[in-house]
Amino acid sequence: MTETEVAEFQGLYGPYTVSEILLQKIWMRGLFQQDGLRTTDGRNLRIRHPGNWNRLGGPDFKEGRLLMDGDEIAGDVEIHFRQSDWRKHRHNEDPAYDNVALHVVLFPPEPGEPAVENSRREEIACVVLLDRLYHDLEEYALDEAVAERLEQERGRLVESLLEQSLSDRRERLLRQARKRWDQKVYFCKARLDKLGWENACHHTALEGLGYRPNRGPMLAVAARYSLDSLATERPLAETLVGAVPDTWVREGLRPANHPVVRLKQYLRWAKKRPAWPARLAEEITSWPRTGAVAEESGAFLELASSFRREFELPRRHRRLEEYVAAGAVPGTRFITLVCDGFLPLAAARGEKGLFPYWFYWYPGDAPEVVREILKTTEITDGRTVSQANGWTQGVLYSLL
């Protein structure tokens, strides 16, 4: 097994690293725009199956199924940061890579850089992912880091928090939550710049309904079917699932999270509220702002017991559920859409003073281990300081 390559990039709060394993996961989960894919030599490319992830020696994915200019091709897939990594790793001399049909790279080849070949001197097609990614690479890296570290870092984080006074613990998580908010707004700004308000809302809603396992195919649906087409043409959920075959994860999901169920919810949403992004902007714009108190950590934390009441969060949440989403998405999944998508998108669009709403909004689909950490460290006590999205996000950022 070859050594895993790691590259360093500059992010919002400093440098971050990305390994080739993350690129492999992006390929495997289809977390990139697949419609209109073309190889570097100009051939149309469709991915029928990304291949089986190979964690041993040899190509990264075995037995992929591809269409190149309509021709069916079966073969392996190799993932690298750059096209030059193929020769750097001497794959051009290794017969184990002779069945590679596609070389997937993050960055475009350098001008004049020759195509790669296998040990039989046969040229291998190449596709570049950088301009096809749904998100900034830093966002993929952060999401993956949180998922990997949540359970293993639990004890360390609890111990670290308990070394501080209660007020210091809360201020620490408030600072971490603010950084998490800044990141979410930063990433949403990139999506807005690329897609515009309506499409950004459309993509964000479908991505959120896909949960982690089905983010990729849900985003593929969003790219293939506009909000307007879903509202007017009213395709079946099964048709949408069939439009991006062989990519959906169904095993291990609760029935309520099955992609057909979630797509039916979104189709009902689009039918009843075809202009819901405009309604969302209108609704959030009407909210009162908290003023300068939000900038002072001590005063901000004193809002914990009263913010939801004083700023009418229960009513505002119901209004978003009904006026914006027609009641199509019930429970904690809609709460998560508000926190992870709608509020950061509105802030990225230019709305000021939304951080307190985001912080004191209800926690959505937070992992149970996060709730346990907050309870163990007495960050939340169920009386004066309730569970809130901001505390959850502060814990998650602390794991990065």
Predicted confidence (pLDDT) per residue in 88-97, tens digit: 999 999 999 9
Calculate mean pLDDT across residues 346-365.
93
Quick one: pLDDT at residue 1? 43
Contacting residues for 88 by C-beta, under 8 A, at least 6 apart: none
Assign 236 a pLDDT band (cuts: 50, 70, 90). very high
Cα–Cα distance for residue pair 18/8, rounded to 1 Å: 6
Calculate mean pLDDT across residues 318-336.
95
Residue closest to 276 by CA, chosen among 197, 215, 347: 197
Quick one: pLDDT at residue 265? 97
Cα–Cα distance for residue pair 104/81, rounded to 1 Å: 8
Cα–Cα distance for residue pair 66/51, rounded to 1 Å: 9
Q: Would strands 45-49 and 14-19 be described as parallel, antiparallel, or unpaired?
A: unpaired
Q: Are 206 and 221 in contact (CB under 8 A)?
A: yes
Name the amino acid, one letter, at 162: L
Assign 298 a pLDDT band (cuts: 50, 70, 90). low
Quick one: pLDDT at residue 294? 56
Cα–Cα distance for residue pair 222/219, rounded to 1 Å: 5
Contacting residues for 167 by C-beta, under 8 A, at least 6 apart: 301
Quick one: pLDDT at residue 135? 83
What would the pLDDT profile of 34-66 be if each residue is shown by its tens digit? 889 999 999 999 999 999 999 888 999 999 999
Residue 120 has pLDDT above 90, yes or no: yes
Count of H-run helices and E-run strands, the chain: 19, 8
223: left (phi over 0), alpha (psi -120 to 50) or beta: alpha
Residue 10 has pLDDT above 70, yes or no: yes
Residue 269 has pLDDT above 90, yes or no: yes
| Partners of residue 11 on adjacent β-strands | 14
**Across all residues in the chain, what is the average pLDDT?**
90
